[in-house]
């Protein structure tokens, strides 16, 4: 068993364990930290697969951006140290069963299916390749989706500001 | 066992349903948002795996992943704006309490 | 050829008035509404007089025969190549004459109402309704298509309904308007079926086509209509008879007359316009319009027309002798006079000298419109003065209301058939026509004529003579006769009642359009005139001075008097039939079925839905996570289904 294999299984285990803890732990702050680790290990898997750019994006956007945003909102909306409200047992069991059923269904499908890949020469996922194709307008270019996504981001930005903005009445009454 | 496509798909499926489970059982909106992030990550992993093992001659999976990450960031921002707004109106972000839209 | 645009203006001006006053009258025009309506009406009157002049003296006549002109026709609703509902204008002698009558009387009533209705809260609504009525009536008159006439026929019915129920806060007015609407509507059902029968056999709805197809001897359509029969009576007789039922309903012919006396609940000018001069003669007009079909293809129906008219004339005259409400007397006299017109049509034949009845009927329609509108407007002036409809409250008014008195006298002489007033000429012609064709009807007409003279002068003497007017409610009698707006229409109509008899009607209107020579038969006139004079004398003897003679006579004729006073119990018979028989045998079972079976089904559906939704509404809990679980389970289930099916 090569080192690479060991690393892979290690990463996989850590990802799943920290992901599982992130959804089950009672402390919200810990949940955020477990999530952060889970995302980091996923970035590790990307590294293992030699997709360094994606791994970097994962770390920068998820770990550096989204998780920080989440922690921020925890601060805004929570007295820290408080335990999360407990869910009813029946709901927990039912959800676990439903998730398990879906999991098994999909796994069975995955293992039954014969995946057939291409045999053509592979393209290196280097930053220059990704960059030129992302903005390319040729056959494999992604300029249009890129523009669309940029529009979406703009709209989302405007949207959050509008949603989070307090109305003048609320400002007068004080509060958050 | 040599890790390959099936192993990665196993991880992503497991991660997906961990996220779904969290989505169902958590009552706090922020933690629900975290579960959603897990689900999105499992999908990213899928795309990358397919790109690597089945179509290494293309970069489509990579692009999808990049776009999903971008959209996830936007979604997180919007979600948090909504959470804050909800908190302002309810002094709580418990989804069980935000149930005005019923019969 | 006349210009279609300004002929179309005749009905369109009142329509414009209706829209204008109906939409903006109460807010913007307020008390000016009457003036606006009257001015529009005046324009329409002038145009129609101009058209009448043009038609009768310039372009209407070709080779001595008045033509039927259709200056405008628009296929409004096309069913097939041959069958379409058109909106058109017909000009022929009777439609042109009716245009003049309707616009002229309407104008008079508009002017009269300016004073009579002054201060009413719904003044502008009144004028809007008047305009609507005038529009519908004019549309009816110029229709070129049998379905067009039906549309306007119903519109006329609606506006009559609205105007009878004008004082909607009086229960009696509401009841009267409902009664009028239902009775005429019931008759219109016959009209509609008649239209369907005739148009089915003739294959057209156009008047010209229909008449020419159903009267041409040996045409396929006529053969089919004559040979096919139902209950032993040919289809064409059925068709014309059913159309006559529609006409009888509108024209208050026995036994569909019950609505007319009650319709007097409307404002008096309305009674003058609608229930005396114009709308009620629509039935006569309808029969006249289809006269060739009646005369050539369905003589049996024409026979029915004659007898229904005669019976109505006599019956109404008998009832009129006993009534005490002056408007009701006038209503019954209207019915009686329309009966005259009907039987005059009934005894006429198509073409030549035999068509005298047709000319006489139209002539009487014309003169009757004048003097009956005059009578009603006078009655309006009297009621305006004494604030009562009852004869008992009147008497000795000749000093107080001099103009009204003279006008009323002229109208009474006219309706009684005393020369040289207009009624004499038209009635003479009718009686002559009846004499030539059917002696039974002639005698009925003659008796009716005498009774007409009697009850009209009974009315006249009771109002203006009898006893001195006792001034016990002089407090609100300070207004006197009521100014020029009241008296001018009376004077104009009185002049009309005098001179209209001298119009040589036979020159203009005849059954086939050619000139009809009507001689004045002095020898023939002796009998009707002397009977009229006798009637007047009896009335004068009984009612000129206050006395107990009328009471004595009425008590000696106890049974007959009572029966007549109660209008021969026809209303009661109707009530018995509807309330006791129809309601119990048909209405109640139908209501039971509706309440229990139909409603039951509907309620069952509703209740079931409610119960089920009550049970399953918990699913809609408002909890997002539950929804997500349902969603996931559904998705997994569907996936499994698709994969493993």
Q: Which of A91, A95, A105 sits opposite C639 (nearest CB)?
A: A105
- Res C519: pLDDT: 61
| Chain-chain contact of B13 with A106 (C-beta, under 8 angstroms) | yes
| Chain-chain contact of A42 with B54 (C-beta, under 8 angstroms) | no
**Stronger pLDDT, C405 or B39, i.e. the higher one:** B39
- Res C366: pLDDT: 87
Mean pLDDT (10-residue bins), chain C, 645 residues: 77 87 78 83 89 82 77 81 81 86 89 83 85 90 88 89 86 87 88 87 81 78 73 80 88 83 84 82 87 82 87 87 84 88 85 78 87 87 80 75 85 84 84 83 87 86 73 54 77 85 77 68 77 83 74 72 73 77 81 88 93 86 84 91 88
Tell whether B18 is covered by a domain: yes
CA distances to A36, A99, B42, C576 from B19, in Å: 14, 9, 9, 82
Nearest residue on chain A to B9, alpha-carbon basis: A110
**Stronger pLDDT, A174 or B57, i.e. the higher one:** B57
Closest Cα in chain B, distance from residue C127 (Å): 54
C80 in contact with B at a CB cutoff of 8 Å?
no
C591 in contact with A at a CB cutoff of 8 Å?
no
CA distances to A149, C113, C344, C407, C419 from C497, in Å: 91, 20, 20, 9, 12
Q: Which of B30, B62, B78 sits opposite A156 (nearest CB)?
A: B78
- C516 neighbors C95 (Cβ within 8 angstroms): no
A141 in contact with B at a CB cutoff of 8 Å?
no
Whole-prediction pTM? 0.66
- Residue C61: what are its φ and ψ, rounded to 5°? -100, 130
Question: Which residues on chain C are in Cβ contact (under 8 Å) with A85?
Answer: none
- Res C479: pLDDT: 59
> What's chain B's average pLDDT?
88
Tell whether B28 is covered by a domain: yes
- Between CA C410 and CA C394 the distance in angstroms is 19
Instruction: Give me the interface pTM, i.e. the ipTM.
Output: 0.91
Question: Which residues on chain A are in Cβ contact (under 8 Å) with B17?
Answer: 99-100, 102-103
| Chain-chain contact of B20 with A176 (C-beta, under 8 angstroms) | no
- Between CA C229 and CA C212 the distance in angstroms is 21
- Between CA A51 and CA B18 the distance in angstroms is 24
Nearest residue on chain A to B92, alpha-carbon basis: A77
Tell whether B31 is covered by a domain: yes
- C67 neighbors C99 (Cβ within 8 angstroms): no
Helix ranges restricted to H, C387-438: 402-416, 422-437
| Chain-chain contact of A58 with B69 (C-beta, under 8 angstroms) | yes
Tell whether B86 is covered by a domain: yes
- C365 neighbors C284 (Cβ within 8 angstroms): yes
> Which element (helix H / strand E) includes C90?
strand C84-91
CA distances to C73, C139, C164 from C83, in Å: 14, 21, 36
Pairing of strands C61-62, C65-66: antiparallel
Tell whether B51 is covered by a domain: yes
Question: Which residues on chain B are in Cβ contact (under 8 Å) with A84?
Answer: 26-28, 31
Question: Which residues on chain B are in Cβ contact (under 8 Å) with A45?
Answer: 8, 11, 45
- Between CA C269 and CA C157 the distance in angstroms is 17
Nearest residue on chain A to B73, alpha-carbon basis: A66
C590 in contact with B at a CB cutoff of 8 Å?
no
CATH of the domain at B12: 1.10.287.3510
Tell whether B97 is covered by a domain: no
Give the best residue of C620, C623, C633, C635 to mutate against chain B (max B CB count within 10 A). C623
Domain count of the fold of chain B: 1
Provide, for chain A, the percentages of residues in helix, strand and coil under a 3-state DSSP scheme, each rounded to the nearest 5.
Answer: 75, 0, 25
CA distances to C280, C421, C556 from C459, in Å: 22, 18, 21
B12 in contact with A at a CB cutoff of 8 Å?
no
A102 in contact with C at a CB cutoff of 8 Å?
yes
Tell whether B98 is covered by a domain: no
pLDDT tens sequence across A22-79: 999 888 888 999 999 999 999 999 999 989 999 999 999 988 889 998 888 888 887 6
- pLDDT band at residue B14 under the 50/70/90 scheme: very high
> What's chain A's average pLDDT?
86
Which domain range does residue B75 map to? 5-90
| Chain-chain contact of C636 with A105 (C-beta, under 8 angstroms) | yes
| Chain-chain contact of C639 with A98 (C-beta, under 8 angstroms) | no
- Res C475: pLDDT: 46
Judged against a pLDDT cut of 70, whether residue B90 lies above it is answered with yes
- Coil, strand or helix: which one is A82? coil
Question: Angle CA(C26)–CA(C28)–CA(C31) in degrees, nearest 5?
Answer: 65
Q: Which of C629, C636, C643 sits opposite A95 (nearest CB)?
A: C629
- Coil, strand or helix: which one is C278? coil
Give the best residue of A65, A77, A120, A135 to mutate against chain B (max B CB count within 10 A). A77
B67 in contact with A at a CB cutoff of 8 Å?
yes
**C474-508 per-residue burial string, b: 16 or more CB within 10 A, e: under 16:** eeeeeeebbeebbbebbebbbebbbebbebebbbb
Helix ranges restricted to H, A49-125: 52-57, 67-77, 89-112
């Amino acid at each position: 068993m090569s080192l690479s294999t060991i690393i892979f299984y290690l990463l996989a285990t850590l990802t799943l364990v920290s992901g599982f803890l992130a959804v089950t732990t009672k402390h919200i702050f810990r949940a955020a930290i477990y999530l952060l680790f889970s995302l980091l290990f996923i970035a590790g898997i990307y590294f293992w697969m030699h997709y360094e750019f994606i791994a970097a994006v994962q770390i920068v956007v998820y770990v550096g951006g989204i998780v920080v945003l989440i922690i921020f909102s925890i601060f805004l909306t929570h007295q820290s140290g408080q335990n999360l409200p407990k869910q009813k047992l029946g709901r927990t069991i039912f959800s676990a069963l439903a998730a398990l059923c879906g999991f098994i269904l999909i796994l069975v499908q995955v293992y039954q299916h014969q995946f057939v890949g291409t045999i053509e020469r592979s393209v290196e996922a280097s930053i220059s390749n990704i960059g030129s194709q992302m903005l390319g307008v040729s056959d494999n270019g992604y300029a249009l989706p890129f523009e669309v996504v940029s529009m979406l981001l703009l709209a989302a930005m405007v949207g959050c500001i509008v949603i989070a903005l307090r109305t003048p009445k609320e400002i007068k009454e004080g509060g958050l | 066992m040599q890790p390959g496509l099936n192993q990665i798909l196993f991880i992503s499926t497991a991660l997906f349903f961990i996220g779904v489970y969290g989505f169902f059982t958590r009552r706090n909106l922020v933690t629900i948002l975290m579960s959603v992030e897990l689900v999105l990550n499992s999908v990213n992993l899928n795309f990358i795996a397919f790109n690597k093992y089945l179509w290494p001659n293309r970069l489509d999976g990579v692009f999808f992943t990049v776009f999903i990450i971008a959209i996830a960031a936007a979604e997180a921002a919007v979600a948090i704006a909504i959470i804050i707004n909800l908190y302002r109106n309810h002094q709580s972000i418990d989804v069980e309490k935000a149930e005005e839209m019923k019969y | 050829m006349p210009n279609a645009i300004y002929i179309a203006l005749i009905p369109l001006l009142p329509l414009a008035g209706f829209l204008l006053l109906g939409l903006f009258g109460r807010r913007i025009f307020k008390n000016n509404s009457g003036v606006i309506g009257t001015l529009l009406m005046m324009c329409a009157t002038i145009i129609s007089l101009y058209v009448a002049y043009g038609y009768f003296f310039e372009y209407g006549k070709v080779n001595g025969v008045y033509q039927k002109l259709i200056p405008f026709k628009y296929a409004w609703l096309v069913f097939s190549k041959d069958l379409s509902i058109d909106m058109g204008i017909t000009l022929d002698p009777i439609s042109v004459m009716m245009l003049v009558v309707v616009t002229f009387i309407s104008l008079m009533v508009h002017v009269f109402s300016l004073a009579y209705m002054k201060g009413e809260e719904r003044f502008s609504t009144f004028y809007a309704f008047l305009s609507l009525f005038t529009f519908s009536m004019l549309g009816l008159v110029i229709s070129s298509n049998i379905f067009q006439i039906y549309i306007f026929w119903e519109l006329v019915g609606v506006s009559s309904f609205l105007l009878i129920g004008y004082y909607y806060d009086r229960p009696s007015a509401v009841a009267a308007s409902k009664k009028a609407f239902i009775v005429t509507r019931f008759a219109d059902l016959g009209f509609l079926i008649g239209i369907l029968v005739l148009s089915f056999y003739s294959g057209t709805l156009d008047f010209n086509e229909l008449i020419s197809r159903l009267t041409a001897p040996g045409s396929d359509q006529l053969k089919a209509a004559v040979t096919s029969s139902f209950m032993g009576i040919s289809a064409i007789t059925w068709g014309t008879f059913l159309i006559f039922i529609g006409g009888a309903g509108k024209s208050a012919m026995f036994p569909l007359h019950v609505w007319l006396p009650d319709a007097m609940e409307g404002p008096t000018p309305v009674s003058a316009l609608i229930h005396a001069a114009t709308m009620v003669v629509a039935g006569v007009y309808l029969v006249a319009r289809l006269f060739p079909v009646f005369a050539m293809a369905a003589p049996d129906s024409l026979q029915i027309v004659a007898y229904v008219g005669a019976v109505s004339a006599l019956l109404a005259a008998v009832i009129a002798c006993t009534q005490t409400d002056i408007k009701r007397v006038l209503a019954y006299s209207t019915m009686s006079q329309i009966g005259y017109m009907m039987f005059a049509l009934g005894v006429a034949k198509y073409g030549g000298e035999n068509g005298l009845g047709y000319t006489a009927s139209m002539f009487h329609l014309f003169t009757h419109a004048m003097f009956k509108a005059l009578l009603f407007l006078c009655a309006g002036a009297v009621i305006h003065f004494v604030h009562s409809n009852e004869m008992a409250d009147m008497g000795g008014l000749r000093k107080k209301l001099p103009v009204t008195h003279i006008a009323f006298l002229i109208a009474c002489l006219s309706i009684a058939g005393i020369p040289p007033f207009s009624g004499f000429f038209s009635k003479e012609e009718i009686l002559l026509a009846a004499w030539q064709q059917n002696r039974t009807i002639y005698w009925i007409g003659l008796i009716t004529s005498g009774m007409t003279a009697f009850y009209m002068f009974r009315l006249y003497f009771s109002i203006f003579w009898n006893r001195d007017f006792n001034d016990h409610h002089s407090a609100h009698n300070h207004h006197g006769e009521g100014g020029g707006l009241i008296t001018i229409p009376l004077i104009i109509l009185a002049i009309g009642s005098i001179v209209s008899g001298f119009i040589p009607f036979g020159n203009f209107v005849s059954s086939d359009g050619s000139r009809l020579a009507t001689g004045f038969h002095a020898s023939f006139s002796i009998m009707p005139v002397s009977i009229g004079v006798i009637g007047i004398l009896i009335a004068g003897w009984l009612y000129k001075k206050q006395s107990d003679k009328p009471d004595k006579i009425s008590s000696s004729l106890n049974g007959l008097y009572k029966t007549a006073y109660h209008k021969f119990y026809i209303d009661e018979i109707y009530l018995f039939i509807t309330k006791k028989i129809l309601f119990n045998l048909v209405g109640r079972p139908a209501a039971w079925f509706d309440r229990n079976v139909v409603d039951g089904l509907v309620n069952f559906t509703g209740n079931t839905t409610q119960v089920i939704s009550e049970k399953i509404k918990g699913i809609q809990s408002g909890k997002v996570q539950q929804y997500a679980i349902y969603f996931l389970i559904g998705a997994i289930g569907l996936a499994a289904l698709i994969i493993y099916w």
